[in-house]
A and B are shown apart, each in its own frame.
Chain A
Amino acid sequence: MSKVVKSLKEAIRNAGLKDGMTVSFHHHLRNGDYVLNMVMDEIADLGIKDLTVNASSIFDVHAPILNHIENNVVTQILCNYMASGVGRAISTGIMEKPVQFRTHGGRPSDIALGRTPIDVAFIAVPAADNMGNASGKFGPSACGSLGYAVADAMFAKKVIVITDNLMPYPLPDWAISETYVDYVVTVDAIGDPKGIVSGTTKITRDPVGLVMASYAAQVIKHSGLLKDGFSFQTGAGGASLAAASFLKEIMLKEKIRGSFGLGGITGYMVEMLEAGCFEKLMDVQCFDLKAVESIRSNPNHIEINALQYASPAFKSAVVDSLDVVILGATEIDTDFNVNVHTDSNGYIMGGSGGHSDAAAGSKLCMIIAPMFRARLPIVRDRVHCVSTPGQDIDVLVTQGGIAVNPKNAELTERLKAAGLPILDIRALKEKTEAITGTPDPLRKGDRAVAQIVSRYGEPLDTIYNVVD
C-alpha cells in the first residue's frame, strides 16, 4: 500500500475539498514556504471558492493570498501571527470577515475542541515516507521541529502531507504519524532553505539593547527563581538573546543547572544546553540551523508539539511549568496590557504566537522593550489592542528603568534591594514622554479587520481598519 498520489490537484480532489470549507497550514517553513501559495493556486485553478484558511502564521512570502482574497477563493483567515506586508493590506479592510487571531496554544485547543474544525490539512514536511510518517529533521528543507502541524494532522478530516524528500518506509523519528495521514504528495521543493531557517541568530550589539538585556538578566538573578531546576523561554530577537547570554554567564558562574529551555529554539539556547545550563530543550519550532542540527542529533533536545507546548485545553502544558519567559511588545499600557499585533500606527504586523501562552503559564513574565521606537513611546495609557492581558505580565524592562506590575509587591522589593532602577510604570511613561512628547491618539476606523481570541477561546479585543 502507498498513500502517494500523482499530484497536488489529485490529492485535493480526493480529499473532497469544496466551496465553504476550511483548509489549514503550518508555518515551520516561515518566510521560505512555497506550499501555502502552491496549494492555494491549485485550489483556485479548480474553481473552489469561499474558503477559510487556518494557518498557524502568515508570512510575507504568502502575499499572493491577497489575490485569492480579491477573487473570493479565500474569505476568512485564522492565524496566530501575520507579518507586516500582508497585515498592512488586511488593516485597510479588504476582507468582509475579520481575521481571527489566536495563540500558539489556543489554536490547537480550538482545533481539538471542534471550535475551528479543519476539513483538509495541507502539511508541508521536509521528509516523509510513502505512508505519511513525516519529520522536519531531514532533507534539503529541514526545519527541525514540526510542533505546530501536529494538531492539524490529528484533528483535520483529511490530511495531505506534501514533501520534497520521500524517504524509504519506515521513516525514523517521525513527528507526524501515518495513522493521521490520508495522502502523500511529492513536489520539487517545499521551500527556500534560506527563508526557512536563518544561518545564525545574532546577539544585539546595539548599546540600548545590551543595557536592557543586562537589566533583564539581573531581574532573573534576583527574582528568587534562578536556582537548580530553573526553566526559561526567550525569543530570537537580538536583545532577548543578549539577555540569555548574560543569564548563561550568571548560571555558569553560580553553577546553576536548569531543568529545561522552552519554545522556539535558537542556536543560543542550544549553546546553553551544551554548556550545562539546562538538562533538556523542549522545542516546538527551530529558528536557525544550529537548532535544527541539535534536534536531529542531541537526545536531550526534544521535539514537542503545540498541544504539549501551550494548549490550555488539555490537562497540562509545558508552559505551566515555566519559571521565566522574556517577551517583546510594540506597546504596553499602564495596566501592563501588551500589544504585539499592530504597530504604533495601528497596522497589523505580528500576533501573539506563544506570547499570551507563555505569559499566562510562567511564574515571571518579563517584557523587554525600548522606551521609544522611531520617536514613539512604548508605554501608553491604553494599548491600541490587547494581545496579552496585563494580569499575566510581571515586569517591563527598558533602558530607562524597570517597571514591576504592582501585583508583585515582593518582587518589587527584591529588585529594589538588588539596586536595580525600579520605577512606577506611569513614571516611566512620563520620563519617556518628556523626551518624545505625547502622541495624538490613533483614530480607529469603524470596520473590524481582526478579532483577537484569547488562548481560552474567548474574544479579547478587536482591531479596526486604519484611517489615514
Chain B
Amino acid sequence: MRRSLLFLPGNTPNILINGNCLGADAVIFDLEDAVAPDQKDAARILVRNTMKYLNFRGCEVIVRINSLDTAYWQADLDTIVPQKPNWIMLPKTAQASDVQTVDAYLTALEEKLGMETGTVRMMPLIETALGIENAFCIASASKRVGALFLGAEDLTADLRCKRTKGSHEIEYARGRMVVAARAAGVDVYDTPFTDVNDPEGMAEDAAYAKAMGFTGKAAISPRHVETINAVFSPTAEEVNYAYEVLEAIAQAKAQGRGAISLRGKMIDAPIVTRAQQTIAMAEELGMGKGGQA
C-alpha cells in the first residue's frame, strides 16, 4: 500500500537518517533536482549508505535517478541497485523506449549482481507533454513498470502555462494519466502540493486526486504526509459499507437470489469490486469493522 510518497533530498544526511520515521508509506531519495551537479557523487554515496545501514521495513524505498539526457543515470543505477531499492523513478520519461533503455540496463545489472530479473521495479515520472500523450505506452513498456507518477511542475513549464493552486491547467494530464495507468493495470501517483503553509489547500488537492482515481500522492514536506495518508485511507463509513455489501452478497447467494439491493440501491459487480478493494486496504491498515485502527 502506497498512499504517501515523500521526497527527501539525497544530500541531506539528517533528513535521510530519519526518513523511515516520518510516516510516509514510501520515501523517494532524490538524486535529481534536489541535488546540484557538483553534489551528485556525494548524494549518490550518501543514499547508498543510508539504504545499506538503515532499516526501512514498512516504508518502501524509491530512488529518483537522473534523467537519460544526463551523464549521471548509469552511475546512479550502478551505485543504488546493489542496495535493492523497491523502485527506480525515471524522471522526464517521454516514451516507451526510455523505459526500455533503463529496463535493459537494470536487467544487466541484476544479472551481474545475482539478483532475480525484475527485482527492482520502475515508476516512470511523466512530466512532459510528450510523456502525457505516451502515458499508456510508457506504462506498458516493461513488466517492471508498476506505477506512473505525474510531475506537474516541469509539465506546466513544457505546456507553457502557469502552475496554479487551482490546478485547472493539469486537469487533462491528470485524467489522461489515471486512464492510461488503469488501462495498463498499474498504479498512478499524483504530483506534490507545493505550498507547505496551506494545509487546507493540501487536503483539498489530495481529496481531488483521490476522487480522480489516483492511488496516492507525493509530498515534498513531511508535514503533508499525515493528510495524504488520511485522505487515501478508507473512512470508517466506507469500511462499514464495504462489509455490508459483502454480507448482502453472501446472504443473496445463500438465498439463491441474483439481484440484490442495499440501502435502496442495486448492488452490481463494480460496487462489489470496490467493496473488496476497500476491505483489503482497511485490513492492510489494521482497521477492523467499524473502521477503528
Contacts and interface: CB of A to CB of B under 8 A. Distances in A.
A344 B242 CA distance: 53
A423 interface: no
Interface in B197-218: none
B274 interface: no
A207 B22 contact: yes
B25 to A, nearest CB: 15
Interface in B213-236: 221-223, 226
Given A211-B222, A214-B226, A418-B293, A434 B55 contact: yes
Contacts of A207: 15, 18, 22, 221-223
Interface string A196-228: 000000000101101100100000000000000
Contact of A419 (B17, B21, B22, B293): B293
Nearest to B55: A434
B85 interface: no
Nearest to B22: A207
Interface string B15-39: 1011001110000000000000000
B286 A211 contact: no
Contact of A210 (B55, B222, B293): B222
A205 B23 CA distance: 15
Contacts of A208: 18, 21-22
A186 interface: no
B286 A435 contact: no
B54 interface: yes
Contacts of B18: 207-208, 399
Contacts of A418: 293
Given A419-B286, A419-B293, A435-B54, A400 B21 contact: yes
A207 B17 CA distance: 12
Nearest to B50: A435
Contacts of B17: 435
Contacts of B293: 418-419
Interface of A: 205, 207-208, 210-211, 214, 399-400, 418-419, 431, 434-435
30 contacts: A205-B223, A207-B15, A207-B18, A207-B22, A207-B221, A207-B222, A207-B223, A208-B18, A208-B22, A210-B222, A210-B223, A211-B21, A211-B22, A211-B23, A211-B222, A214-B23, A214-B226, A399-B18, A399-B21, A399-B22, A400-B21, A418-B293, A419-B286, A419-B293, A431-B55, A434-B53, A434-B55, A435-B17, A435-B53, A435-B54
Interface of B: 15, 17-18, 21-23, 53-55, 221-223, 226, 286, 293
Q: Which 3 A-B pairs have the closest CB atoms?
A: A207-B222, A399-B21, A419-B293
Given A211-B23, A434-B55, A435-B17, 11 more contacts: A205-B223, A207-B15, A207-B221, A208-B18, A208-B22, A210-B222, A211-B21, A399-B18, A419-B286, A431-B55, A434-B53
